[in-house]
Structures are given as structure tokens and as C-alpha cells.
Amino acid sequence: MCGIIGYVGAEPAQPRLVAGLQKLEYRGYDSAGVALVDDALSVTKQVGLVADLDLPEDALQTCGIGHTRWSTHGKPTDANAHPHTDCSGRVAVVHNGIVGNYDDLRAELPEHTFRSETDTEVVAHLVEDELERTPDLREAVAAVVDRIEGSYALGVVAAGYDGIVAARRNSPLVVGHGADGNFIASDVTPLLEHTREVSYLEDGDVAHLTRDGISVWHDGTPVDRAVHTIQWDAEAAEKGGYEHYMLKEIHEQPQALRQAVAGRIDPIEERVDLDLSLSRSFLDDLDEIQLVACGTSYHACLYGKQLLETLADVRATVEYASEYTVGSGRDPSRTLVVGVSQSGETADTLRALRMAKRTGIRTLGVTNTVGSTVARECDDALYIQAGPEIGVAATKTFASQVVSLAMFAIDVADVRGDLDPVAGRELLSNLQDLPGAVQQALDRDEEVREVAEAYAGGEAFFFIGRRFANPVALEGALKLKEISYDHAEGFPAGELKHGPLALVTEATPVLAVLTDGARPEETRNNVKEVQSRGAPVIAIASESGHEGDYEVGFGVPDLGLLEPLAANVYLQLFAYYVADSKARPIDRPRNLAKSVTVE
């Protein structure tokens, strides 16, 4: 959610901090700030954009921290913006997470003056007190985090103290090993132009960064954290000539899908190899696969559930990660929990996975982020390999998640001996043809723009589909409401007559998915129902053998059960161009964050 950046090195820190915060803007924020430190502390923070910060000119300090805030405790105000300082004005703190025992800790500091409504400020005051007991900033921060309940990624600096102290628990924080200094950041995006060598802090770690190096401590003991080389390049995280990251990432889907299957499909043996450690005996004995996720990843799980049950003849369930509990009547040794998270840091998904592990259930993480908490903590990790996704509204990662789950379903079915050879061969072929089909949809970008602008004034938008198209309808509605702020609902087409039809009017466009894998003949009956009420219909249907009287129609090539996934591209473009026609801040929609790292 919030974005953290820190730098200590040989060069002026302010330009690096500002550039880093701008790279983190995609995470969503309402205020921003920077703290620079040498023998004194200088803090600039305010509501608004990073570019609007009233920063000092010619700042030469070579150490500092920065922050973009997404409000949780306290409204968006200058006072509530980070960094937060202590009474003396010598300690500055940036924080992502929630201090659960904030009220209790604040009550222990009656002599301190608090200037904000945030939970974070208490950390600065606690560090101030600890520095009266120890001359070591790392030891002071370590003592403070031992008293904190909840989640945190922290960056702390203090006037007259060397470097930055960082700490994490249940909130992501990465350190970057640079040539002219060292960095902390919420993710690798702001580090790519400076270094690709990073280490991921683990829960309970406290790190001390100086110009000359990085030391990490855990439970008071020095530890080594592996250095990873990031494969993304800096250009992959840029707009590349597109007006918005979201549009760029929609158009990157063919390449993302090729990356997702690269080296994993053997067309000769007609098998997939995902390099997982799930044994044949475990999969043979499996009673249930539980998929847990949030938002777009939840919709990908709904698609994956149907693939698993269709191909592998295994019971699959999908639950919102925030609602997940380990129910009674399940044998942990015969259950697999699959957590799907683009960032690998989604707090609710991590909570669900940890709950499952505590009961002895095996876990698999499906994520886009190497080194993420999901990847590290799960028994197995399946990377979707989509490349960096900067836009808050997920696009290419949804497609890559579904494709990854499709390959997983084939693998499970094959190992269990349940894979029908014809169905398996067809799906493998369709997976390889999917990038080309997506490109065909992208080639009609301009047509979709014209349709979106024509219907952008709709009072509400309804998305319908059956079976494999139902998750796509849900995802299409989510995309539109996320970035256009219009009311949009997605539901199974058959549910129209059970309530939603009362809302259908001439001013409510209906977007219908009528492809293979979506029981199109039945959905056409629902289309006629809304047309009889005057609603305009935008249909995405199979190119082969479909006919219909729609206001607008788009086709997808023959892809079997993956046709709804190709149809989703039209819904993404539609949402994008509706929002663009209304001049919405598409890459940073209000109130939303890219990575939700608090529960």
C-alpha cells in the first residue's frame, strides 16, 4: 500500500528519493514526504503528488528516507503524511503497516507531544526514548519493534547517526546493494535504475544500512540474507510510449503469456513441467484443492477451479482470503491450499496460507514476484512470469495467473491419471495459441475505443457469462468500476432473472461473453431478455459458428475453454477507454493500492 524508499551513499539523496517515490506512485497514495539527515534533520511532507513537494534546493545530504502514504489511521492531511518525527525533531520514521497496539503504546508516553492522528508517530517517540538508553540506532529500533503488535515495514533515520535502520514484519521491505550506496524500498521497482542486486528482509529482521554496506540482524544475532539478481530491466517498468501503464500492460499480454508457458510445455510428450515438489502419492491421495485470493486473483482462482475440476477430477473450492478458515472435516494430509497473489505480499492471502500451514496443510504460492513472502513461505512456488505490472488495475497478471493455473490443472490431472488425452492435447495447443488470439483482440483496439466512448454515459454496466465466462464477467466489472468509478456488476447470466433484471434499462449497457466454455446458447436467451427491456448489448462471441443480433459484436478465435480468457481483453480495453473518456487517473484510481499489505 504505502511506498517506502531510502538511500545512503556517496551522492545527494534527495534526487534518488524523489525519483524512487515517483516509481512507487503506482501503489496508490494521497500524500508524500522526504526526510534528509546529516547532523540535523530536514523533513518535507504534504498532501498531494510527489511532484508537488516543496523540497529544498541544492540539498546535499547523502542519507534520507521517503514515503507515499495511503491513509489508514487518520485522514489525508499534511500532519498525517510521513515521515513522522519525535519531540526533538531528530528522529524520522516511515512506515507501512498497522501498529495494532498504538493506543496502549501512546498511553505509555504521557510526556510526549503528538502532532498527528496516525499510528506511525508513536514509533518515532519510542525510538526517541530508546536513544536515551543506547547510543546505537539499530539497538534502539530493535527494542521498539519488540514492543509493536501488528505489521510494519520501517525506515528510521536520526540526526547525528550513521545510515538508515530498517525493520519488517508482515509487510514487504527489500534492500538494494548499489555501487554508490545502498537502498531500502517497498519493492524493487524504484531500485532498477540503480541496482539489480537485492536482498529480501524476512519477518523479524532489523537491518542497518550505511554507505559502505548492509548488516542484518535477527533476534539480536547477525544473519546473512541471500542476494538476488532481478531479471527485469528498468525499461520494463516504464510506459514505453503509452499514455498509461494500464494500456501498456494490456498490450503486453501476448508476451506475458508466452513467458508464462516458456519452457513449461513439452509439445512432443504433451505434458507440462512446472518444477514443483508435489509427489505422485500426495496428488493421488488428494481430496481437495482450496484456492485463496483477493480481487483479480480471486477471479483467476474461479477460472482455475473449473479447470481443475474439469481436467483433474478433484474437488476444488475458492474462498476470499480474508474469509478463509480451516473448516472441520478436512484431512490436512489430503488437502492443498493454493494462494494466488500478484505481488506475493497480499496480507489477507498470507494470513490464509499461514493458517493452513499451522494445521499441517501443504501450500502452493502462485505469484509474479520472485523472493516475495508468498514464494518464500509456501512449500512450493509457481511463478506466473508476467514481468512488472505497475498499473493499480491488474490486467496482464490476470491472464498469466489463469494460464499458470491451467498448466497446474493439466499437471495434476496427468499425475493422477485423470487427464483425458484429447482434452489435454487440445488445452495444451490452445495455451500455445492464446498469445496470438489475444493479439487479434488487441488489433481491434481502435474499434473498442469507439464503442467505449459511445456507451461511456451509461447509468450502470452489467457483465454476464456462464461457466468459464463467469469469472471473466466478474473481472470485467471490477476493471470498469476500479478505473472509471462507474457502477458495474458481473454475475452468472442465469442470475439476471433473479433480481438484477430489475435494474436493466435502456441506459444500462450489458456486456455478454458468448464463447466456447461459456454455454453461449443459454446466455443468448438472457441477452434477449435484456434486449426486450431496451438495454444495448455488447457481445464477445466465438468467431466460428456464432450468430446474433447485437448492437456491437467482437469475435475470438477457436480456443476451447480458454476463449473467455481471450474475450477478457475486449473488456479490459472497454474499461480503459470508458475511464479515459472521463479523464480518470487510470494508473492511480482513488482509494486503491496496487499491493494491499494490511488486513
Neighbours of 202 (CB within 10 A): 16
Strand ranges of the sheet holding 228-229, from the earlier edge strand across to the other edge: 41-47, 31-37, 63-69, 3-9, 181-185, 174-177, 197-200, 228-229
The type of residue at 127 is V
> 221 phi and psi, to 5 degrees?
-120, 135
Q: How far is CA 281 from the centre of its chain?
A: 33
What is the rounded CA–CA span in Å between residue 234 and residue 196? 9
**SS3 for 441?**
helix
What is the rounded CA–CA span in Å between residue 403 and residue 418? 19
Buried b / exposed e across 554-564, counting CB within 10 Å, b at 16+? Answer: bbbbebbbbbb
The type of residue at 292 is V
What is the rounded CA–CA span in Å between residue 218 and residue 246? 39
Contacts of 117 (CB under 8 A, 6+ apart): 73, 74, 75, 77, 79, 80
Q: How far is CA 283 from CA 4, 29, 144, 381, in A?
A: 41, 43, 45, 16
Q: How far is CA 165 from the centre of its chain?
A: 26
What is the rounded CA–CA span in Å between residue 275 and residue 271? 12
Per the DSSP assignment, residues forming a β-bridge with 33 are 45, 67
CA nearest 5: which of 51, 69, 59, 49?
69
What is the rounded CA–CA span in Å between residue 313 and residue 330? 18
What is the rounded CA–CA span in Å between residue 267 and residue 264? 10
Cβ contact 440:557 at 8 Å: yes
* Grid coordinates belonging to 463: 457483465
First vs last C-alpha separation in the chain: 11
**SS3 for 235?**
helix
> 129 phi and psi, to 5 degrees?
-65, -40
What is the rounded CA–CA span in Å between residue 269 and residue 260? 19
Cβ contact 343:372 at 8 Å: yes
Active site residue ranges: 2, 594
What is the rounded CA–CA span in Å between residue 453 and residue 582? 9
Q: Could you identify the residue written with the cell 530508546?
A: 130
State which H helix or E strand residue 312 sits in.
helix 295-312
Contacts of 310 (CB under 8 A, 6+ apart): 409, 423, 561
What is the rounded CA–CA span in Å between residue 574 and residue 582? 13
What is the rounded CA–CA span in Å between residue 153 and residue 322? 21
